[in-house]
Amino acid sequence: MRMLATLIGLGALATPLVAQSSPTSLTIYNDGRVLVRRSVPEPVPRGVSTHRMALGALDLSTLFSLDPTVVITGASYDGATDMQSVLRRSIGRLLTFRRGSATNTVEAKVLGVDPERYEMPDGTITFNMPGTPQFPRDLVVINPVVRLDVDSRRNREQLNLGYFTSGGSWQASYQAILGGDDARVLGSAVVAVDRLNVEGASVQLLAGSVGRAAPMRDESRFQRRMAVGAFEEGAIATEERVGEFHLYTLPGTLDLAPGVETSTALFDPATTAYERRYVLRGVMPYRGPLPQVGEMPESPVEVRYTLTRERGGGNDFGDTPLPGGVIRLYQADEAGRLQLIGEANLRHTAAGSDVTVSAGLAFDITAKRVQTSYTTVKRGRYTYATADYEVRLSNATDQDVTVDVLEERFGEWSVLESSVAAEKLSSTVTRFLVPVPAEGNAVLTYQLRVRW
């Protein structure tokens, strides 16, 4: 089984969709938006006609016809189902307010909201709601209805509409079960909805950060009118705009109900090689002066696992782009019971790119740093510092390990000498690969020269 992962452009979303295998199809975005494509069994005569239909919560500004022969010439929509909106509709009306028991009631006229004002039977005005309001049926919107004016070139048996709503989200979830030399990897897409209620829908999941226009109206009022959950402010994608995204089409159809999570496999379970590394990060500040510090507290040693993903390796794990989500690492104990040994967020990862996961801090691999010497000299407007460091590494396990000791800094700096060869990984990162014997120790010394 292989899920479809297709690169699409924004233009593909505007392609007319007149024939669908399911009356409703959805594209769910990472930020909570849901693009609905729906075929409504509504006879549409040739020419101009008006239609009323219950489509649920939607953003009217995004409503469009999927049929190029049908044009929406006008639309109205009242999706305000919350009490505050019903209260606005009640301005000028006499309402009954319940005070405790069903027989203890009082009538008051709603004069306004923001702030609320009520006229009591004795003619006085109060700014406090006199009880629990009992609204007449005609004021309450149970199921939002949209009124459409359309112009069709020919007779149609159904109306094909597209629009955006919210209330749905999805995230990828991965499990890597580590063995002796390889790992078994599973991946699934977990769809969660809070207000969507759709039966037999074709579902697609779009991975990537799709640009989002900033609101041009009162955001809080607009969200109340949609009667859906509020988006987080961080969901507005402004940092990156991309023209192509990965689209995952889930097999078959799904029934989506509020509060129900649905999981679907992204690829067949795969076996791949993995590598474990121990990483000790440097102490230099990324910018600015290099301080004199002397002996430092024990430094944490990070444990990283890298899962190998080769394209054309005979499994979907390497050939499939991985949408961002959460990856969990498991390993069996002596009795064969799986234990969680690491969990981390995974960003969108292209096909063939390895996956590196930080699994936390090593318990039996420890490190102590000492700055053994420190000198500075001023030359013009620059200061040059020379510092010697000693790193003592201890390994309490019964296996030999190698620790990646990293130093990272922006600007002009260099390693003058070291007891282990310095490997320059980039213009800012230098690495020392230090072997540490089982139940033993190792010492790394090096000298840095830094300009600021």
Domain ranges of the chain: 83-139, 276-301+362-452
Q: What average pLDDT does the segment 189-212 reach? A: 84
- pLDDT bracket for residue 430 (50, 70, 90): very high
The CATH architecture that domain 276-301+362-452 belongs to is Sandwich (2.60)
Q: Which residues pair with 108 in a beta bridge?
A: 95
- pLDDT bracket for residue 23 (50, 70, 90): confident
Q: Which residues pair with 212 in a beta bridge?
A: none
Q: What is the pLDDT of residue 55?
A: 86
The answer to whether the CB of 132 falls within 8 A of the CB of 13 is no
User: Is the confidence at residue 391, as pLDDT, over 90?
Assistant: yes
User: Is the confidence at residue 226, as pLDDT, over 70?
Assistant: no
Q: What is the pLDDT of residue 413?
A: 96
User: Is the confidence at residue 312, as pLDDT, over 80?
Assistant: no
Q: Which residue stretches of 200-284 are H helix?
A: 219-226
Question: What is the overall mean pLDDT for the chain?
Answer: 85
Cα separation, 358 vs 344, whole angstroms: 7
Q: What is the pLDDT of residue 352?
A: 87
- pLDDT bracket for residue 332 (50, 70, 90): very high
Q: What is the pLDDT of residue 12?
A: 36
Supply the pTM of this predicted model.
0.70
Return the CA Rg of the chain: 31
Q: What is the pLDDT of residue 368?
A: 96
User: Is the confidence at residue 205, as pLDDT, over 80?
Assistant: yes
Q: What percent of the chain has pLDDT over 70?
A: 87
Q: What average pLDDT does the segment 124-131 reach? A: 95
> Over the range 292-326, which residues count as b (16 or more CB within 10 Å of their CB) and which as e?
eeeeeeebebbbbbebebeeeeebbbbbbbbbbbe
The answer to whether the CB of 249 falls within 8 A of the CB of 266 is no
**Alpha-carbon distances, residue 262 vs 190, 247, 255 (angstroms):** 6, 18, 9
305 residue type, one letter: Y
pLDDT tens digit sequence for 128-139 = 999 999 999 888
User: Is the confidence at residue 234, as pLDDT, over 60?
Assistant: no
pLDDT tens digit sequence for 333-345 = 999 999 999 999 9
Q: What is the pLDDT of residue 2?
A: 43
363 residue type, one letter: F
pLDDT tens digit sequence for 341-365 = 999 999 888 888 899 999 999 999 9
User: Is the confidence at residue 13, as pLDDT, over 70?
Assistant: no
User: Is the confidence at residue 219, as pLDDT, over 90?
Assistant: no
* DSSP symbols for 382-403: EEEEEEEEEEEEEE-SSS-EEE
Q: What is the pLDDT of residue 216?
A: 57
Label residue 10 left, alpha or beta by phi (over 0 means left) and psi (-120 to 50 means alpha): alpha
- pLDDT bracket for residue 407 (50, 70, 90): very high
Token representation of residue 273: 């090689």
- pLDDT bracket for residue 244 (50, 70, 90): low
